[in-house]
Amino acid sequence: DYLLRINYTGGLEPTLENLRKITWSHKIAVPYTNLQIHGGSRLHFDLKQQYDNIVTKRGGGVCYEINGLFVWLLRKLGYKVKCIEGAFFAEEFTCQRHHLVVTVDFDELGRYIVDPGWLMAGPIKMQVMIPYVDGHHVYRLR
Active-site residue 99, yes or no? yes
- Which string of DSSP letters, residue by residue, matches the chain? -HHHHTT--S--S--HHHHHHHHHHHHHHS-B--GGGGTSSPP--SHHHHHIIIIIS---B-HHHHHHHHHHHHHHTT-EEEEEEE--BSSSB--TT-EEEEEEE-GGG-EEEE-TTSS----EE--BT--EEETTEEE-B-
| Of 105, 115, 134, 136, catalytic | 115
Active-site residue 63, yes or no? yes
Active-site residue 115, yes or no? yes
| Of 1, 44, 99, 105, catalytic | 99
Catalytic residues, by residue number, are 63, 99, 115
